[in-house]
Structure formats: C-alpha cells, structure tokens
Structure 1
C-alpha cells in the first residue's frame, strides 16, 4: 500500500492540489454529500443553507433523468421536486405502484449538519409524495452485508466508502486506497472538479473505461515502484558515502568522492527516468479520457432521445394522474401519512 501511495505522489498529487485549491472558494467543510436512490440513483453536494452545488448521475437511468436538468444553484427542496417530477414524467416512479421507496444517504465532516441535511432530504421527499398523492416515502439507505464488511475492513463508514468509490469513478487518476485517506471536503472537491471539467464518462461506458484504466495502472505502476525502490536504495548509498567522506583520511577521499559522484549520477538518471515514465503515464491517461469522452458525446445524444421517448410513452398515463391528483390527495392523505410513519 505504501508503494501505491508513493506512485500517486507523482501521478495524482498535482491533480488533487489543483482540484482542492480550485474548489476551495466553493466547497465548505460543512457541505454534505447526499445520494438519492429511486433507480435512478443521483448524488448531490448540498451546503448547510440547503443549496445544491453539485449533481451527478450514478447509473444509466440517472443519465436519462438528469440529461436536461440543471440542479446546481437550486434550493434543495426545489431540486428534489424537479427530481421527483421528472422521475414521474419518465416513468421511473410508477404512479400506479402500491409503494415507492427512495433511499437516502448523507455524509458531512460535521456529523450534526450531515444528520440535519439527511432529515431535510427525507422530509422534502415525503412532502413531494404527499403533494402528489403517491404512496411513497424516503428512508435511510441500507447497504449489502458485503459492502458493510468492506467498509469495516477499511475502517470507514459505509456512507464514506460509497462516496470514495464515487470519486474513483468520476476521476480516473484516483485509486480507492487514496480516496479513503482523504477528508470529506477533499472528496467533495474532487467530485465537483470532475463534474465541472466534464471528466465523467457516461454510465454505459464506465465498466469498459475502468477496465482500460486498470490496464494502464498494471503496466506503469510496477515500473514506477521499481524506480522508486532504486531511488530509495540510491539515497541510502549517497548518505553513507557522504558520512564516509566526511570521516575519511585525506588519502582516501578521492576514491570515495569518485564513488559519490557515480552515485549522484545514478540518482540523476533514475530521477529523469521516473519523470519520463510518469509523463508517459499521464499522456496515456489523457488519450484514454479523450477517447471515452468522444464516445460519451455520442451516447449523450442517444440519452436525450431516450429521455424524449420515455416522456412520450408515459405522457397519457402521467396526464391522467395529474388530472386526478387533487381528488386522490384528499382520499389518500391519511393512508400516505401512516405509510410514511412506518419508517422515518
């Protein structure tokens, strides 16, 4: 693990610094990372004043949901209203369903703020269901046993692990092990930077993209690790020779100095080799990103067509629902209240 972190000191630290500094004016330590899972699954970053400053799809259905929605800058309640309305319009929330559950997570560096935002998100969702006379509710997200075991093994909460994995998906230069060492604000900053720079790849391409990325890591990380090991050994030799030179008799100094000069030359060569290798490493990443981003442009056009098609397919059903909504609201108000109280 130490070696991987050393690699990323070359391959990642510049990006991380730029991302975090670049977002410093707009990302606060008190912002909250939120996920809403209806299928579609969406992630948001929300300020303590309940402003949405980041929104991103987590799966292909969410790509369709968000393709023409701009949630950034909206109040949280308005953003949730738009998500629910669009999910209904596209048929992701079935107006004839006996029940709809929206799973929610929220994580903040300040746990009290995170808890407050989570409760507000659930309250806003529940209110939207009530207003539309739909049997639906929000509840805290449950994680699979395997996911809980994985989070425990890493020594983090499931919510934090989920956010760290999201960072790994939207930014191709971050390994999970490094994301887990970061703070909540740092992860949020990288998420926002990735979105603003349009670095994300549409969901349909992500598995292929991550597999291609893994091949690049497999090729270059061992080479970089080997050079770092050689540099560490070289540094020990140089340090020993410098001590030996300082303590040597005058007659021996020339020979020791010659050895030291050779070691210093070897150091310069190793550093140059490492720098060149990291440069190629970055260039291959850039080529990979460019290739998948070009494909993403084409797919986003197809996603917009899917969005329009779903609207047309569900239009009559949704319109009938809207026409009857006021009557349904009166009839179902008490039943919806009871349903939502089953799980706060």
Structure 2
C-alpha cells in the first residue's frame, strides 16, 4: 500500500528500517522477512527480520499464551525456534508420545522458491525432533488443507495459500487493504502491518481482553479514517486547481469534478449507518440464548468443568504424596489422562465455537462475533464492523474515480504533507488512549500471566519434566 496504509498504524512505529533491507549472502536468506504459523493447538505465529532471524513470536490462543510465557526466541533461527516450541509443546503434553499427532505449518517467504525452502526446512527440523523422540507426527502443510474456495481465490490472485492467509490477516488491521492490493505487496510489507499490530496488542493476554483491544481499535480507526477524509476534503476546497495536475495528467477531468466526487465520497462515508446499541444488545442476547440452548455445546463445557475439578483434586493428592514415589507416579498418570481429556474437550469446544462464529457472521455480515467461555458460562461480544462497511464504500469510490481517470490513493497523497500535523494529533491521542486502556487492564493481565506461569509449572510437574 501507499502512504495511507502506513499512516494507519496510528503512531505505533510498526515498520522499522530493518524491515526494508536486503539479505544478500546470508545462509538464512530464504527465511528473510518470513511469516510462519505452527498450529498444534496451541497456535503460534512467528515473524523474521531481514536477516532471516526471529523478530517476534506471538500466541494466537490462550493455550499458546501459557506455552510461551517467559520465553524469548528473538534472534534465533526459524528452525531453532520451531524445534524449541515443538519441544515445549511436547514437555507440556500438547504432543503425546502414545498418540497420533499432527501439526499444521503455514509458511510464507519472500517468493515461491523461498517459501518452498522454508517449508522444507521447518518440516525437516520437526521430523528430526519427532523421529529422535519416537513421536508419531503428521506434518501438514497448510496449502494442502485449504478449502476449494480458498485455493481458487489464491489461484485467481496469483498468490500462494500462505500469502493469501497473510493478506487476509493484514486486512483485519488495515481497512484500506484489499485482496487485489495485497497480492501486489511484498511479504515484508504484509508482515509489517500484522507484526506491528501484534506488538501493540501483546499486553492483552487473553482472548477476552484481545476483544476489548479490537473494539477500542475499531472505534479509533473509525475516527481516524473519517477525520482524514474530512481533512483532505477541506484541503481540496482551498487548493488551487494546479495542485491537481499530477493526477489529472492528460485526462479531460477537471479539478471541480474531482472536488465534487471527493465530497460525495466523504458524504457516503458519513452516511454509514451505525446500529443503535439496543439493536446490538438484542442481537447479542439472541446469540447467547442460542448458545445456552445448545445441549451438545453445553454438555462439552460441563464435561470440561468436571475434568478440571478432578485434576485439581489429583494435584492436591500429588502434592501430599511427594515422599511416596510409587503413589506419586500413579497420581501423575491419572493426572496426565485427565489432562488429555481436558485437551480433547477444549479442542472440540473451540471447533464448535469457530463454527458458530462462522455461521453467525455469514448470517450477519456487518457484525463480528466473539464467543468466550469461563467454566460452564458463555460470554458473547457482538460488534458492528464499521471498517468493513468503510472498505466497501472506499472500493466503490476508487472505481468511480478510476472512471474519470483518477487514482484515489494518488489523489489523497497530494495532500498528505498538508494535513500531517492534524493526523499527528490524532495518532498522539490514540497512543494516549491506548496507554490508558493498557493501564486499566494491567492488573488483570499481570494476574493472567501469573496464572499461565503456574499452569505451565504444574503441567511440567505432572509430566515429570
């Protein structure tokens, strides 16, 4: 994307100069500016820098938060990091010596050749570890698991399955990004969009708190986007006709036509109808009622609560039996069995939850749904997706401007310098508000990290590690 996309980081300074270097001569050049996801459940995301070394590792669910707590892989190679994560997952029981295991690997390099080499290196490193440990592991490349629809879309756009997934992820953070534009972007640029926002949300350590962050960010993006268009429109009204010459070129379009169409664009953005809170609350209550009426879903939650209670009782017994090794070993075995049952139930619940979210968002495309569960109780967050509505309006007007031979982004770039100070004020306000939000949840986040540490230590003890 052009300057507009980079500005939408809202002052996060997400794109360091290192993201745009080169890696000539590096033995890890194939891994430069790469994106990798390991899906074992936990699911972990890895970014690399221009030298092919790990620059960021992110947890994509709560199990991964517990897995990664107090770890640091920055500066390591992708293969070292992958093996360390798989080793940790094995030590904590997510990979079972006595069962069939699977790991889905998504890898995206700077080009097709680098992607293939990266996939092969990751596969070989995992296989070497699992063979040595005598673990049966099915290593699945994500592109082989893609739906027919996704495969067709990737082929249409001329990109790999992995890059299409990365583009889709980046679109969650940049409302100006389209699939067509993303297809033309370098992987490092897409990585910059995603990794910058992942860094920003690191302090929100649970799925529920991440929902709070996304709600906050959506509101801020709405304010920023509307304000920016308004600033540009004001600047256009005051500008001399000659200012438009670089985008008009040889076309017959006039400055007056451009001003009129841009005013129409601003009016269309302002006309996006935001539902009343009562309407959103009613939809949320409807979703919650449907979840509460689902006997299968509630049955899975109830079973999980029972198994966790049984684990708590076994842990108390294990702590009391520390001087009786035979008894302690028997309790560990029981704990391991219960833990695997909880893990299986959690996976079933997550799959059920994901299907519900997909169904809800298909039925209500203007909304985004988040389902959480604590014990046997569901929580539901319903949010109007203003940014998606904005994207649709922007795409419509990009076409309208193209019809009069004007590139919308190039037009807006003419006024970026003029409105820079106003945008800077918005970004500064965003940063201050984000800091306040982090401070508000700091106690809860710190407590959750401590819970993750304790759970990690208890799980290590359970497996005798």
Q: Distance in 2 between matches of 1:84 and 1:6?
A: 39
Q: Residue 71 of structure 2 aligns with which residue?
A: 69
Q: Distance in 2 between matches of 1:198 and 1:213?
A: 10
| Range moving further from structure 2, 304-313 or 197-206 | 197-206
- Does the CA-based 8 Å contact 2:205-2:448 persist in structure 1? no
Gaps of 5+ in 1: 241-269, 323-344
* Deviation sequence 1:9-29 (CA, Å, 0-9, x none): 75459866x724254458788
What value does the CA root-mean-square deviation take over the aligned residues? 4.0
Gaps of 5+ in 2: 245-414
Flag the 1:41–1:206 CA change in 2: closer, same or farther, 3 A.
Answer: same
Q: Which has the higher helix share?
A: 1
Query: What is the CA-CA distance between 1:5 and the residue it aligns to?
Result: 6.9
* Deviation sequence 1:105-140 (CA, Å, 0-9, x none): 111123212211111101111222222222212111
* Deviation sequence 1:156-195 (CA, Å, 0-9, x none): 54322332454567xx677544766642122334556667
Q: Residue 350 of structure 2 aligns with which residue?
A: none
Q: Residue 452 of structure 2 aligns with which residue?
A: 306
The answer as to 2:227 corresponding to 1:223 is: yes
Q: Residue 37 of structure 2 aligns with which residue?
A: 35
What SS does the corresponding residue of 1:19 show, helix, strand or coil?
coil
- Does the CA-based 8 Å contact 1:27-1:188 persist in structure 2? no
Q: Distance in 2 between matches of 1:22 and 1:198?
A: 21
Flag the 1:296–1:41 CA change in 2: closer, same or farther, 3 A.
Answer: farther
Q: Residue 202 of structure 1 aligns with which residue?
A: 205
Q: Distance in 2 between matches of 1:136 and 1:44?
A: 21
Q: Residue 127 of structure 1 aligns with which residue?
A: 128
| Range moving further from structure 2, 141-150 or 84-93 | 141-150
What SS does the corresponding residue of 2:15 show, helix, strand or coil?
helix
Match of 1:21 among 17, 22, 39: 17
Give matches, 1:1-344, under 5 Å. Answer: 8=5, 11-12=8-9, 19-24=15-20, 30=30, 31=32, 32-46=34-48, 51-96=53-98, 98-141=99-142, 142-144=145-147, 156-167=159-170, 176-177=177-178, 182-189=185-192, 201-204=204-207, 205-235=209-239, 237=241, 274=419, 277-294=422-439, 295=441, 298-313=444-459, 315-316=461-462, 318-319=463-464
Q: TM-score, normalised on structure 1? A: 0.65
- Does the CA-based 8 Å contact 1:90-1:307 persist in structure 2? no
* Deviation sequence 1:206-248 (CA, Å, 0-9, x none): 22211221122223422321332343344354669xxxxxxxx
Q: TM-score, normalised on structure 2? A: 0.50
Query: What is the CA-CA distance between 1:73 and the residue it aligns to?
Result: 2.4
Q: Distance in 1 between matches of 2:458 and 2:450?
A: 13
Higher relative contact order (CA 8 A, sep 6+): 1
